[in-house]
Structure 1
Amino acid sequence: MFPPFIEMPLTYVFSGLIILLSIVGFYYKPLYNKLVYHPFEVFRGNRIHTLFTSVFLHKNWKHLIINIYFYYFMSKDMEYYILEKNYNQIEIKLICLFVLLFSVIASNLIVGWAQRYNLNFTSVGASGAVTAFAGFVALYFPIDHVSRPHKFMPLYYGYDFAFALLIIFAILTAIYRKKSLTNHKIHLTGLLIGFVLAVLFRPVLVNEIIYHLKSRW
């Protein structure tokens, strides 16, 4: 459950930073204000660093615990398991770092664009990175499967879980787009970014899904 540090240093380092800075941010508002993402300012050329630094902050303990739990396991799957079949250790670290940076910055830019005139909107959290990692991990080897099908849900192959996540986040985004304090748009955006990056680093997965769907039907 906890591999040696040398095997997945990025997962441990970023998990530790997220936990540490989030907790400090709960009680030390100058740090929180320094790192929080504020699209109104960013899209006017200010506080550009917050496109990424906001990943290290969370609104409360519940927000932090949920995100760090899923971030650890999704990042672990990527850094410790799935990429080793195609890349060496240096390439794996670079890919994981790129996915983290790109998913956080891109999801903040995309979601923040709609809020660029909203002076009151701010955003924090690792949700974009978490869902991007989840999408990447689920789709990277789409034909890999669990040991046996779920009793109540037709989820067996990797792409089954990927498409299920897509449907869930799309529905949540549509239902709660104006009613919820939770930023579901960044969940959906991060997931789609994870899909795109999985295809970028392993394009053959598209053909694997197509051929496999044909065989299933």
Structure 2
Amino acid sequence: MSMHDSIFTYSIIGITVWTTIYAFRNSSLEEKLIFCPRYILAEKQYHRLVTSAFLHANWRHLFFNMFGLYAFGRLIESIHGPLMFLSIYFAGIIGGDLLALWLHRNHEYRAYGASGGVCGIVFAAIFLFPGIGVSMMFIPISIPGWLYVVIFLTSEFHGTIKGKDNVGHDAHLGGAIISLATATAFKPEIVQWSPKLYAAVMLLSLGMLAYLIKNPLFLPLKTFMHFGSVSVPKKLQVPSSPAQETERVNKILDKISQKRIKSLNKEEHELLLRASRKSQSK
């Protein structure tokens, strides 16, 4: 596999490495390119859906993303061509960021990294090359592609809900799903190559996306499914104006952004539940 066969893979790696290193020393560049819902929605700076992929938090973040792109991106580009590779990669980046944009549209949030696109490339490669294994660096053990898919989906969904580690699991999940759909558009036969795995992945993915889209506040699953009744504390039964309630909800969302949902008390959970139900009924 020569460098000429994977020129776009190497080019993206080179541009990403250069931009990331430059941004390490120039905070103004980072500020112009970083993913931020406020800038995207209020100021219509849509370029951030793509440019944030050329920034990374640190050397480790950069290294592992670029290694994944190097390992699987070259394979897709050399066998299936640059158009398919570029489409899968950038569909993963934009798809992952759009999911993150929806989930974090109501509070301050900032993110960067090519993880959505890289996860999409890995996901697509598993279906484009049935039987391929996935191995971790420095660990001489390869796991079957189908097992990696199952572990990836469940762990990223769980990470999105829990949100304890400051990792953009939502972008990973969205990128992987959109990239697989893009690969399918180019190569519909991948459905026939792994029909059971493909069906399982799509059903699981659609269920996860439905939950995240309908429940962007990440309230407990039993709340989302409307199991049982929820008692409203007397403290919350005091009427308040819409403006006051909106202000309280915004403060709670900011708290979630900084300390995650586990930091909320019972009263704050109940207020979010009411706000979520009002939003769904509109």
Would you call these one fold, judging by a TM-score over 0.5?
A: yes
Using the TM superposition, name which of 44-53 and 199-208 deviates more.
199-208
Using the TM superposition, name which of 109-118 and 7-16 deviates more.
109-118
Of structures 1 and 2, the one with the larger relative CO (CA 8 A, separation 6+) is 1
In the aligned structure 1, how far is the partner of 2:147 from the partner of 2:192? 15
Deviations 1:34-80 (A, max 9, x none): 11111112122422111101110011112111211112112112112
Is residue 95 of structure 1 aligned with residue 80 of structure 2?
A: no
Is residue 65 of structure 1 aligned with residue 63 of structure 2?
A: yes
Distance 1:145 1:95, change over 3 A: closer
TM-score normalised by the chain length of structure 1: 0.78
**What is the CA-CA distance between 1:168 and the residue it aligns to?**
3.3
TM-score normalised by the chain length of structure 2: 0.61
Deviations 1:162-182 (A, max 9, x none): 3343233333334x33x2211
Using the TM superposition, name which of 92-101 and 131-140 deviates more.
92-101
**What is the CA-CA distance between 1:155 and the residue it aligns to?**
4.8
Give runs of aligned pairs for residues 152-191 of structure 1, distance below 5 A: 155-156=143-144, 158-174=145-161, 176-177=162-163, 179-191=164-176
**8 Å CA contact retained: 2:146, 2:197:** no
Q: CA RMSD in A?
A: 2.4
In the aligned structure 1, how far is the partner of 2:197 from the partner of 2:157? 24
**8 Å CA contact retained: 1:159, 1:209:** no
Distance 1:60 1:212, change over 3 A: closer
Number of residues paired by the alignment?
191
Mark the runs of 5 or more structure 1 residues left unpaired by the alignment. Answer: 84-91, 147-152
In the aligned structure 1, how far is the partner of 2:115 from the partner of 2:43? 24
SS of alignment partner, residue 37 of structure 1: coil
In the aligned structure 1, how far is the partner of 2:95 from the partner of 2:142? 32
Q: 2:271 maps to which residue?
A: none
Q: Quick one: which of 100, 105, 108 aligns to 1:116?
A: 105
**8 Å CA contact retained: 2:50, 2:93:** yes
In the aligned structure 2, how far is the partner of 1:200 from the partner of 1:79? 16
Deviations 1:144-200 (A, max 9, x none): 355xxxxxx9954x43433343233333334x33x2211111111112122222322
Question: Identity over aligned residues, as a percent?
Answer: 26
Task: Choose 1 or 2 for highest CA Rg.
Answer: 2
